[in-house]
Chains A and B, each alone.
Chain A
Amino acid sequence: MSGAFRIPSAGRLKQAKTARFSFDGQSYAGIEGDTLASALLANGVHLVGRSFKYHRPRGILSAGAEEPNALVEIKRDAARKTPNVRATVQELYDGLAAQSQNRWPSLSFDVGAVNDLASPLFSAGFYYKTFMWPKAAWKSLYEPKIRAAAGLGVSPDQPDPDHYSSRYAHCDVLVLGGGAAGIAAALAAAETGVRVILADEQAEFGGSLRFETGARIDGQDGFAWAQAAIARLQGMDNVRVLSRTTAFGYYAQNFVGLVERISDHLSAPGHDLPRERLWQVRAKRVVLASGAIERHMVFADNDRPGIMLAGAARTYLNHYGVAVGKNVGVYTANDSAYAAAIDLKKAGVNVAAIVDLRDHPTGPVIDEARALGIEVNFGRAVIRAGGKLRVSSMTVQPKNGGGERTIPVDAILMSAGWTPSVHLFSQSRGKVAFNDETKRFVPGTYAQDCASVGACNGTDGLSATIDEAYAAGEKAAKDADAKTAKGNKPKVDASESWSRGMLGAAPGAGPDTTVKAFVDFQNDVTAKDIRQAVHEGMRSIEHVKRFTTNGMATDQGKTSNMHGLAIAAETLGKPIPEVGLTTFRAPYTPVTFGAIVSHARGPLFDPTRKTAIHRWAEAQGAVFEDVGQWKRAWYFPKAGDDMHAAVDRECVAVRKTAGLFDASTLGKIEVVGPDAAKFMELLYTNPWEKLEPGRCRYGIMLREDGFIYDDGVVGRLAPDRFHVTTTTGGAPRVMNHMEDYLQTEFPHLNVWLTSITEQWAVIAVQGPKSRDIIAPLVEGIDMSDEALPHMSVREGKICGVPTRLFRMSFTGERGFEVNVPADYGQAVWEALWAEGQKHGAAAYGTEAMHVLRAEKGYIIVGQDTDGTVTPNDAGLDWAVGKKKADFVGIRGMARPDLVAKGRKQLVGLKTKDPKVVLEEGAQIVEDPKQAIPMKMIGHVTSSYWSENCGRSIALALVAGGRDRMGDTLYVPMPNGVIEVEVSGMVFFDETGGRLNG
């Protein structure tokens, strides 16, 4: 048995296939094809959750994506916990385990419901007002308490074990929504032969044909026609049919995001299946067939479990074979709820009364209801619902006042009318227009190549809908380049039709009342809250929305927006179109992070770059650091070494014998062409024309504003060929900067730029023994100081492979940088390593590299400079060509502020206590006894323990620093003030003799 409220004669599910499931630990049975909501209702369960703010008992309002109340947690295992799943769209599977949310200790007895009694405290904007004092309590007390008490589901606390997939797709016509309109449009387009994608969020296509028993198309029942049409579309090569697929976002130029749910409805999804698939579709034309959403009636206590939309009750009966009650009342302001009453009555459910707000409605459904013996009351309102955990009665009163009558019921079906679903149209930046006659916003001005058809376009009646949709499908195909059209338009034999209804609060919940008549169920916003927001000065609907949070929950106000707008407009005394709609934003329904992120997580989040020598360093036990996307060997600890011991040992070895360093990550750009030197003159501050081939120069690159942008050693290999090195992190932006000037400012120069970073592995060999290590492996290069002086470059062979051998130093020692094709990087490294072992050489990492260069006062762009440092500030005036007429930054460098006195200049700092190592970033003051806030005159940019100097060393940017040599300054720290002395930047081998040592 799949529930006491299942009616065997009704619905489309096959009774044979039972699915067991649990809700809050209690076991139930449902039928395959049920949603969790329909299966719960079949078992008579209406109470499924507690509300956000007041913790009021809540039931199932709808039968679709618009559901604001029935949010549950679905738990497959500890890591697969999904909060805030709408029970109305979650398909049932055998073994499904669901939990209610936002209640403690239990759903039927919830301590938090005290908030309901204290609701005067929690009215609109309460968090802006009630918890303002004392100020400090907001962060420590109020916010954590409010967050714990409010809120809905709980996020999973383990990594998501599921995988997701992502696809791009292109099509001629994308049809969004698979009801009668969408199917008709897809048929029309598909029959012309163009590429069509049809998507619908439901498991089965048909839209409102699921409940409209009066629809007949091409001689068959509407829903059966829909299934046949879908089968035909699925059989066509040019059509892709996507069920369980929500179009959540409509972006520029017909770019639409869809998410397809693949395994959330399966009892035991295979590991090969992704959980969801993200479709990023670019369509030539889009047809929007998103339908309409029924509105609830706004009356006192309209949120009691058992009170639901009439169309939802009809869906549960006609599709799922479930009666939502045994004795139902109906409260309506339009015809559509009559059809629900009629269907339920015919299925054997007692309909206690229909309460119709309208004075004198007429029509066949009203006659039919009367003929079935249903009591019909006109001009009356339901002013209150009775019951707490389940509705027990409705109290009826003539809408202009008068005697009350209370009718016992166990469910109330309500309909205030239907709101065209213009979300996607609005996301496409189309402008909606208000139809004053039907009181609804419909698509007005289009911003993209799309068309709205059917209920979302405000088109009433199945016949008119199919005419419109079929024509739109044909036109979309034609506009997207269809050759011939040759379809057969479906013929509507019978249809249901309704429109109109009401917006805003019903009588009994008007401005003179204080009742809780809910507008937005999910955020607990009442009609009173919206009026209060207007009274407190909110004039714009956007302000009303944010002050009350109306429409801001995960349901995005699908049922509440129009009511909220109408109440605000009434309170403001303005017509609705003057107040205007709030903006519809993506996503239409919540989208998982998993679907958006897909495979781009963990190691695939960002590419990892490894040098040719990476594996050797790894085998040696190197500790790596991330430098941009690169993994760089940071230091090489030996057994028992901490980082400091390793770095000290590496630094000493380099100056004593030699060290090998993997410098492959350095950016490298080849600048080639007849005008290469002219180009270099313009891009770097230095002069290049007279640099002899075979020689190197330290180059500084500025931005146009005169600040240092990058630096590096440049070798001139030939008159028309420069091998430029850049900082590791700066390589891409330097290349972009060079290309920009070459292509747009200096296009007359005949120069080619090529990134060669990845092509050359670079092995720095530094130290007094460096030449001894390299020389035995080199062919064709004279390694003597006369033939290969400091700052020169030669091409030849090493270990039999081509090399660009630089004699240069970033340590102050005699040094070389051996460039070899990256494929040979590890082999050459290993050969050099073997030679190095004969001399006691060590491998050193980036930390030792930093210390060694700081001992010599060599700067690192981006560490000792920060984008506001000029060459002069960094003490690099010598590298600026004084006779040059132009280079990038020449004018910026001359700006008044950049030549003013008192600029921060790069200097050395020595702590008075040589054992104290300053913190990088620490601020520097002249007088540590001054009042706080102290005047800061600079900061520490680099700071290390130098084993070679036997003391700490630091570089700092200090205002007027070069005029302060020998002065004592102070670095105030939490544990006391550190005294420092301003010094030059070179701490080791001031004369530079070791370059040739």
Chain B
Amino acid sequence: MLLIRCPYCEEERPELEFRNAGEAHIARSANISGESDDDFEKFFFIRSNPKGIIYERWRHMHGCARFFNAVRDTVTDKFIMTYKAGEPKPSKLPGVAK
């Protein structure tokens, strides 16, 4: 069972308390009804599914109930870091060679 650090609780808690909520940093357009079909397809259907570093949303469901962002390596399953919702995508990842 993984340990996940909730950036709001500032604590590592077991995976059981969390729910994955899909890929992070996919912004909903402020003018969504004016979006083209292609743009809407990219926003709603297309996900990156990388082998390696993924940016994703998690929710501390059975804890503070906050949504936050996490960087995880899909190969090792390791969480590299977590940060609050709304914060920008981190440019430097601890312990990860560029």
Interface residues of A (CB under 8 A from B): 251-253, 255, 280, 282, 429, 447, 704-705, 736, 739-740, 743-745, 747, 885-886, 890-892, 894-896
User: Contact between B28 and A429 (Cβ–Cβ < 8 Å)?
Assistant: no
User: Contact between A890 and B32 (Cβ–Cβ < 8 Å)?
Assistant: yes
User: Contact between A740 and B44 (Cβ–Cβ < 8 Å)?
Assistant: no
Report the separation of the CA atoms of residues A892 and B41 in the bound assembly, to the nearest whole angstrom. 9
Mask, B52-64, CB within 8 Å of A = 1, is 0000010101000
B60 to chain A, nearest CB (A): 11
Known A-B contacts: A280-B1, A736-B61, A740-B21. Give 7 more (CB < 8 A): A252-B78, A282-B3, A447-B76, A740-B67, A745-B28, A895-B37, A896-B37
Q: A252-B2, A885-B33, A886-B32 are in contact. Are A892 and B40 (CB under 8 A)?
A: yes
- 9 residue pairs of the A-B complex, CB under 8 angstroms, read A253-B2, A704-B44, A705-B44, A740-B59, A744-B67, A747-B85, A747-B86, A891-B32, A891-B40
Task: Determine the chain B residues whose CB is within 8 A of the CB of A447 once the complex forms.
Answer: 76
Q: A447-B76, A743-B67 are in contact. Are A251 and B37 (CB under 8 A)?
A: no
Task: Determine the chain B residues whose CB is within 8 A of the CB of A744 once the complex forms.
Answer: 57, 67, 85-86
B81 to chain A, nearest CB (A): 15
User: Contact between B33 and A739 (Cβ–Cβ < 8 Å)?
Assistant: no
Closest partner residue, chain B, to A254 (CB atom): B3
User: Contact between A251 and B21 (Cβ–Cβ < 8 Å)?
Assistant: no
Residues of chain B in range 6-20 having any CB-CB distance to chain A below 8 Å = none
Q: A891-B32, A896-B37 are in contact. Are A743 and B85 (CB under 8 A)?
A: yes
B79 to chain A, nearest CB (A): 9
B29 to chain A, nearest CB (A): 8
Task: Determine the chain B residues whose CB is within 8 A of the CB of A739 once the complex forms.
Answer: 59, 65, 67
Closest partner residue, chain A, to B44 (CB atom): A704
Task: Determine the chain A residues whose CB is within 8 A of the CB of B2 once the complex forms.
Answer: 252-253
User: Contact between B76 and A891 (Cβ–Cβ < 8 Å)?
Assistant: no
- Residue of B21, B35, B44 most packed against chain A (CB within 10 A): B44
Report the separation of the CA atoms of residues A205 and B63 in the bound assembly, to the nearest whole angstrom. 41
Closest partner residue, chain A, to B86 (CB atom): A747
User: Contact between A429 and B44 (Cβ–Cβ < 8 Å)?
Assistant: no
A223 to chain B, nearest CB (A): 37
B19 to chain A, nearest CB (A): 8
Task: Determine the chain B residues whose CB is within 8 A of the CB of A282 once the complex forms.
Answer: 3
User: Contact between B3 and A253 (Cβ–Cβ < 8 Å)?
Assistant: yes
Q: Kindly list the 4 A-B residue pairs having the minimum CB-CB distance in the complex, ordered from nearest.
A: A891-B32, A743-B67, A890-B33, A255-B1
Report the separation of the CA atoms of residues A573 and B57 in the bound assembly, to the nearest whole angstrom. 49
Q: A704-B44, A739-B67, A743-B85 are in contact. Are A252 and B1 (CB under 8 A)?
A: yes
Task: Determine the chain A residues whose CB is within 8 A of the CB of B86 once the complex forms.
Answer: 744, 747
Residues of chain B in range 35-92 having any CB-CB distance to chain A below 8 Å = 35, 37, 40, 44, 57, 59, 61, 65-67, 76-78, 85-86
Report the separation of the CA atoms of residues A740 and B65 in the bound assembly, to the nearest whole angstrom. 10
Q: A252-B77, A447-B76 are in contact. Are A886 and B67 (CB under 8 A)?
A: no
Closest partner residue, chain A, to B22 (CB atom): A740
B33 to chain A, nearest CB (A): 5
Report the separation of the CA atoms of residues A886 and B29 in the bound assembly, to the nearest whole angstrom. 10
Task: Determine the chain A residues whose CB is within 8 A of the CB of B44 once the complex forms.
Answer: 704-705, 892
Task: Determine the chain A residues whose CB is within 8 A of the CB of B40 once the complex forms.
Answer: 891-892, 895
A885 to chain B, nearest CB (A): 7
Closest partner residue, chain A, to B36 (CB atom): A891
B13 to chain A, nearest CB (A): 11
Report the separation of the CA atoms of residues A704 and B32 in the bound assembly, to the nearest whole angstrom. 10
Closest partner residue, chain B, to A705 (CB atom): B44
A679 to chain B, nearest CB (A): 15
Report the separation of the CA atoms of residues A747 and B27 in the bound assembly, to the nearest whole angstrom. 13
Closest partner residue, chain A, to B15 (CB atom): A252
Task: Determine the chain A residues whose CB is within 8 A of the CB of B78 once the complex forms.
Answer: 252
User: Contact between B85 and A429 (Cβ–Cβ < 8 Å)?
Assistant: no
A866 to chain B, nearest CB (A): 19
User: Contact between A886 and B76 (Cβ–Cβ < 8 Å)?
Assistant: no
User: Contact between B76 and A894 (Cβ–Cβ < 8 Å)?
Assistant: no
Closest partner residue, chain B, to A251 (CB atom): B1
B76 to chain A, nearest CB (A): 7
User: Contact between A429 and B33 (Cβ–Cβ < 8 Å)?
Assistant: no
Task: Determine the chain A residues whose CB is within 8 A of the CB of B3 once the complex forms.
Answer: 253, 282
Task: Determine the chain A residues whose CB is within 8 A of the CB of B28 once the complex forms.
Answer: 704, 745
Task: Determine the chain B residues whose CB is within 8 A of the CB of A891 once the complex forms.
Answer: 32-33, 35, 40
A473 to chain B, nearest CB (A): 24
Closest partner residue, chain A, to B77 (CB atom): A252
B51 to chain A, nearest CB (A): 16
Report the separation of the CA atoms of residues A447 and B76 in the bound assembly, to the nearest whole angstrom. 9
Task: Determine the chain A residues whose CB is within 8 A of the CB of B66 once the complex forms.
Answer: 743
Closest partner residue, chain B, to A884 (CB atom): B33
Report the separation of the CA atoms of residues A890 and B30 in the bound assembly, to the nearest whole angstrom. 12
Report the separation of the CA atoms of residues A276 and B44 in the bound assembly, to the nearest whole angstrom. 49
B18 to chain A, nearest CB (A): 13
Report the separation of the CA atoms of residues A736 and B65 in the bound assembly, to the nearest whole angstrom. 9
Closest partner residue, chain A, to B32 (CB atom): A891
Report the separation of the CA atoms of residues A253 and B57 in the bound assembly, to the nearest whole angstrom. 21
Closest partner residue, chain B, to A885 (CB atom): B33
User: Contact between A429 and B76 (Cβ–Cβ < 8 Å)?
Assistant: yes
Closest partner residue, chain B, to A253 (CB atom): B3
Task: Determine the chain B residues whose CB is within 8 A of the CB of A886 once the complex forms.
Answer: 32-33
Closest partner residue, chain A, to B4 (CB atom): A253
Report the separation of the CA atoms of residues A253 and B13 in the bound assembly, to the nearest whole angstrom. 12
Task: Determine the chain B residues whose CB is within 8 A of the CB of A736 once the complex forms.
Answer: 59, 61
Task: Determine the chain B residues whose CB is within 8 A of the CB of A896 once the complex forms.
Answer: 37
A751 to chain B, nearest CB (A): 14
Report the separation of the CA atoms of residues A819 and B40 in the bound assembly, to the nearest whole angstrom. 41
Task: Determine the chain A residues whose CB is within 8 A of the CB of B1 once the complex forms.
Answer: 251-253, 255, 280
A722 to chain B, nearest CB (A): 20
A172 to chain B, nearest CB (A): 16
B4 to chain A, nearest CB (A): 10
A835 to chain B, nearest CB (A): 41
Report the separation of the CA atoms of residues A252 and B32 in the bound assembly, to the nearest whole angstrom. 41
Task: Determine the chain B residues whose CB is within 8 A of the CB of A255 once the complex forms.
Answer: 1
Task: Determine the chain A residues whose CB is within 8 A of the CB of B77 once the complex forms.
Answer: 252
A168 to chain B, nearest CB (A): 9
Task: Determine the chain A residues whose CB is within 8 A of the CB of B61 once the complex forms.
Answer: 736
Closest partner residue, chain A, to B30 (CB atom): A886
- Residue of B67, B85, B86 most packed against chain A (CB within 10 A): B67
A959 to chain B, nearest CB (A): 23
Task: Determine the chain B residues whose CB is within 8 A of the CB of A740 once the complex forms.
Answer: 21, 59, 67
